[in-house]
């Protein structure tokens, strides 16, 4: 990149409505910050796109000059795939518009929007679609990998609610992918990540949600963890799609509804979510309360947008993060024992292990219906190792890897593509299972030279 003729760069700049940043420019260092502070990459060019035309110009320029490309949506990917060294970043963070068609119950969402942008607009009409649990995550990367959250048991994955997407392909063409048009591409982008092009616009189906939902946390002492998790599993096994129960094991944050002596102590947190009003879910709430003697609870009617932001303070950008994840189709006694053992040895107070509860509507499609194949998963179990001092890198990463190894025999043998770290390229085939070969064929059709390879890469067949 450094040897590139200045005239060529200037000519490229004139074709953009957005801005082009190079390493010597003001704002460059800020523009290469992403959620995971472990990632420190120095792109040669950062193209801050203002619209689809900028994306097309950037893709053509990269292709013509054989420049490696990374695409940035919300910048949350744990592997840091929003950035590359030396090459070009196509940065969509200036493309965050959300348009809601209230009568048609649809949303048109630009490729760089965050979940918070989406919920803000859709909820002003009492509408929503399944997204993730942290409002600063990008709609782009989350959707292209599958996407699950509080609404998934009721309404499926994010990709199950995707109606179409505008994709800028490797040769700079703009295609609309939907069930009736470019159907192979539409299948591939519902789980296949950013491998097939840049999504500049997504069209989603919306559902009536809230504006108030029933949510909250019920917190149990760690000494009761075995009983709580066993009863949690038993309840989950017979639960209706109207309720989602996530379990989080960590040290208690200083939440006002917890007694001060619990703050900083290991706890089991059950996060409760339902679209139904409080009085319609009393039976399920009482069942959760019966898991043990809770040390505190805070449950009630909550605005949906507030719940979508409830975990943001624990997930703020700027820390070092390392994840290891397994899909589970059941919660084995041995997995519960390993959870308890490892949470008893957390390497830093910010670390946690969570069981993201899926199932329900998310599991009613066959695995080959979308590129995302995991239609048997009840829990996505993720180790969120989190710290600030680089001196803790080895300690934290070793802990996560040891937990991962200890629980591997009790896992489903698959993983969610969006939870893979940068060194887990050997798990990509596992993440796509029986859909992998079809994805390779479609990659060969739309991106035979693998321009879009700064991702969990699917090699063209
Ligand atoms: C704190 C936190 C909470 C999370 N919670 C959830 C959750 O509840 N549910 C869930 O399903 N996932 C969750 N995730 C995982 C999340 O889905 C992935 O990190 C996802 O990659 C984030 O997308 P992004 O656009 O922010 O990321 P980026 O880092 O910008 O991009 C990720 C990948 O997607 C590609 N990409 C992004 N946008 C586009 C686009 N418009 N067109 C083409 N390619 C694109 C990028 O090139 C890159 O390869 C969470 C992640 C974090 C860090």
- Closest protein CA for atom 16 of ligand 1: 142
In this model, does residue 276 exceed pLDDT 90?
yes
Cα 143 to ligand 1 centre (Å): 8
pLDDT of residue 450: 97
Q: Of all residues in the chain, what percent carry a pLDDT higher than 70? A: 99
Cα–Cα distance measured from residue 340 to residue 115, given in angstroms and rounded to the nearest whole number? 32
Cα–Cα distance measured from residue 120 to residue 224, given in angstroms and rounded to the nearest whole number? 38
Cα 140 to ligand 1 centre (Å): 6
Does CATH number 3.40.930.10 belong to domain 212-419?
no
CA dihedral 276, 277, 278, 279 (to 10 degrees): -100
Band (pLDDT 50/70/90 cuts) for residue 205 is very high
Domain with CATH 3.30.465.10 in the chain: 98-209
Pocket test for ligand 1, best of 46, 54, 69, 73 (most atoms within 8 A of CB): 73
Do residues 342 and 399 lie in contact, with contact meaning Cβ atoms separated by under 8 Å?
Answer: yes
Do residues 161 and 130 lie in contact, with contact meaning Cβ atoms separated by under 8 Å?
Answer: yes
The helix or strand, by DSSP H or E, that contains position 8, with its residue range, turns out to be helix 6-14
Cα 418 to ligand 1 centre (Å): 6
pLDDT of residue 163: 98
The pLDDT tens digits for 140-188 are 999 999 999 999 999 999 999 999 999 999 999 999 999 999 999 999 9
Q: Work out the average pLDDT over 288-309.
A: 97
The minimum-distance atom of ligand 1 relative to the CA of 111 is 41
Do residues 295 and 214 lie in contact, with contact meaning Cβ atoms separated by under 8 Å?
Answer: no
CB atoms within 10 A of CB 27: 11
Average pLDDT in the chain: 97
Which distant-in-sequence residues (6+ apart) come within 8 Å of 286 by Cβ?
none
Is residue 74 in contact with ligand 1, taking CB distance under 6 Å? Answer: yes
Is residue 149 in contact with ligand 1, taking CB distance under 6 Å? Answer: yes
Cα–Cα distance measured from residue 86 to residue 248, given in angstroms and rounded to the nearest whole number? 39
Do residues 143 and 192 lie in contact, with contact meaning Cβ atoms separated by under 8 Å?
Answer: no
Nearest to 118 by CA among 138, 137, 88, 98: 98
pLDDT of residue 2: 59
The minimum-distance atom of ligand 1 relative to the CA of 112 is 41
Domain with CATH 3.30.43.10 in the chain: 6-91
- Closest protein CA for atom 19 of ligand 1: 77
pLDDT of residue 4: 77
The minimum-distance atom of ligand 1 relative to the CA of 149 is 8
- 305 by Cβ neighbours in 10 Å (0-12 / 13-18 / 19+) ranks as buried
Pocket test for ligand 1, best of 34, 43, 76 (most atoms within 8 A of CB): 76
Nearest to 69 by CA among 201, 168, 182, 176: 168
Q: Of all residues in the chain, what percent carry a pLDDT higher than 90? A: 98
Fold of 6-91: 3.30.43
In this model, does residue 302 exceed pLDDT 70?
yes
DSSP for residue 402: H
Q: What angle do CA 96, 98, 104 make, to 5 degrees?
A: 160
The helix or strand, by DSSP H or E, that contains position 352, with its residue range, turns out to be strand 352-357
Which distant-in-sequence residues (6+ apart) come within 8 Å of 414 by Cβ?
327, 373, 374, 377, 430, 431, 433
pLDDT of residue 293: 97
Cα 50 to chain centroid distance, Å, stands at: 24
Cα–Cα distance measured from residue 279 to residue 50, given in angstroms and rounded to the nearest whole number? 47
Is residue 76 in contact with ligand 1, taking CB distance under 6 Å? Answer: yes
Angle between helices 393-407 and 333-343 (to 10 degrees): 170
Fold of 98-209: 3.30.465
The pLDDT tens digits for 79-136 are 999 999 999 999 999 999 999 999 999 999 999 999 999 999 999 999 999 999 999 9
Strand partners, 248: 269, 354
Is residue 134 in contact with ligand 1, taking CB distance under 6 Å? Answer: yes
Pocket test for ligand 1, best of 37, 133, 141, 380 (most atoms within 8 A of CB): 141
Domain with CATH 3.40.462.20 in the chain: 212-419
Cα 417 to ligand 1 centre (Å): 10
pLDDT of residue 1: 62
Secondary structure in 3-state letters for 236-287: HHCCCCCEEEEEEEEECCCCCCCCHHHCCCEEEEEEEEECCCHHHCHHHHHH
Band (pLDDT 50/70/90 cuts) for residue 294 is very high
Cα 142 to ligand 1 centre (Å): 4
Which distant-in-sequence residues (6+ apart) come within 8 Å of 154 by Cβ?
130, 207, 241, 242, 275, 360, 361
Q: What beta strand segments (E) does 137-239 contain?
A: 162-168, 174-178, 198-205, 207-208, 212-221
Cα 354 to chain centroid distance, Å, stands at: 14
Which ranges of 51-147 does DSSP label H, i.e. alpha helix? 52-64, 115-123, 139-145
CB atoms within 10 A of CB 67: 19
The pLDDT tens digits for 210-260 are 999 999 999 999 999 999 999 999 999 999 999 999 999 999 999 999 999
Is residue 315 in contact with ligand 1, taking CB distance under 6 Å? Answer: yes
pLDDT of residue 5: 85
């Amino acid at each position: 990149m450094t040897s590139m003729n200045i005239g060529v760069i200037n000519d490229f700049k004139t074709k953009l409505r957005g801005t082009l940043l190079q390493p010597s420019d003001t704002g460059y260092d800020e523009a290469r910050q992403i959620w995971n502070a472990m990632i420190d990459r120095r792109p040669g060019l950062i193209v801050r796109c203002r619209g689809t035309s900028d994306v097309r110009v950037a893709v053509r320029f990269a292709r013509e000059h054989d420049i490696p490309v990374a695409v940035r949506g919300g910048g949350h990917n744990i592997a840091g795939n929003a950035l590359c060294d030396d090459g070009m970043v196509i940065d969509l963070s200036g493309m965050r518009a959300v348009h809601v068609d209230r009568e048609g119950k649809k949303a048109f969402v630009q490729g760089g929007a965050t979940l918070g942008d989406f919920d803000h607009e859709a909820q002003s009409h009492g509408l929503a679609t399944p997204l993730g649990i942290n409002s600063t995550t990008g709609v782009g990367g989350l959707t292209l990998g599958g996407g699950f959250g509080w609404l998934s048991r009721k309404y499926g994955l994010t990709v199950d609610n995707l109606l179409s997407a505008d994709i800028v392909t490797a040769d700079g063409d703009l295609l609309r992918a939907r069930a009736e048009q470019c159907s192979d591409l539409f299948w591939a982008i519902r789980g296949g990540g950013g491998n097939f092009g840049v999504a500049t616009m997504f069209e989603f189906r919306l559902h009536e949600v809230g504006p108030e939902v029933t949510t909250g946390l019920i917190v149990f002492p760690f000494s009761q963890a075995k009983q709580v998790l066993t009863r949690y599993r038993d309840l989950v096994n017979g639960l209706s799609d109207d309720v989602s129960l996530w379990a989080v094991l960590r040290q208690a944050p200083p939440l006002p509804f917890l007694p001060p002596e619990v703050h900083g102590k290991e706890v089991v947190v059950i996060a409760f979510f339902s679209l139904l009003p409080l009085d319609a879910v009393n039976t399920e709430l009482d069942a959760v309360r019966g898991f043990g003697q809770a040390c505190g609870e805070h449950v009630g009617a909550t605005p949906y947008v507030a719940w979508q932001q409830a975990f943001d303070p624990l997930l703020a950008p700027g820390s070092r993060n390392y994840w290891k994840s397994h899909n589970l189709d059941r919660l084995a006694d041995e997995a519960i024992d390993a959870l308890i053992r490892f949470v008893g040895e957390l390497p830093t107070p910010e670390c946690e292990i969570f069981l993201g509860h899926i199932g329900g509507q998310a599991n009613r499609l066959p695995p080959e219906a979308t590129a995302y194949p995991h239609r048997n998963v009840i829990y996505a179990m993720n180790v969120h190792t989190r710290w600030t001092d680089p001196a803790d890198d080895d300690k934290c990463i070793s802990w996560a890897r040891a937990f991962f190894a200890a629980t591997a025999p009790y896992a489903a043998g698959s993983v969610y593509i969006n939870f893979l770290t940068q060194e887990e390229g050997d798990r990509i085939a596992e993440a796509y299972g029986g859909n992998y070969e079809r994805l390779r064929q479609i990659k060969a059709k739309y991106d035979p030279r693998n321009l879009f390879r700064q991702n969990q890469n699917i090699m063209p067949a």
